[in-house]
Amino acid sequence: MMYEVIYLPTARKQLEDIVDYIAAELAAPDTAFDFIDEVDKAVKSLAGIPYRHPIYHTRFAVLEEVRWISVKNNNVFYKVFEEDKTVEICRVLHQLKDAEKGLHHSKE
Could you read off the pLDDT of 40-65 as tens digits, one per residue? 999 999 999 999 999 988 766 567 78
Q: Please give the average per-residue pLDDT across 20-37, as a whole number.
A: 96
- The answer to whether residues 5 and 89 touch, using CB atoms and an 8 Å cutoff, is yes
Closest of 98, 97, 40 to residue 69, by C-alpha = 40
> What percentage of the chain reaches a pLDDT higher than 90?
76
- pLDDT on residue 107: 45
- pLDDT on residue 62: 60
Give the neighbor-by-neighbor strand order of the sheet with 4-7: 4-7, 86-94, 74-81, 67-71
Question: Using CA atoms, how far apart are residues 29 and 108, in angstroms rounded to an integer?
Answer: 30
Residue 28 has pLDDT above 70, yes or no: yes
Could you please state the CATH topology (level 3) that the domain comprising 4-104 is classified under. YaeB-like fold (3.30.2310)
Closest of 11, 27, 2, 9 to residue 71, by C-alpha = 11
How high is the mean pLDDT of the chain?
Answer: 88
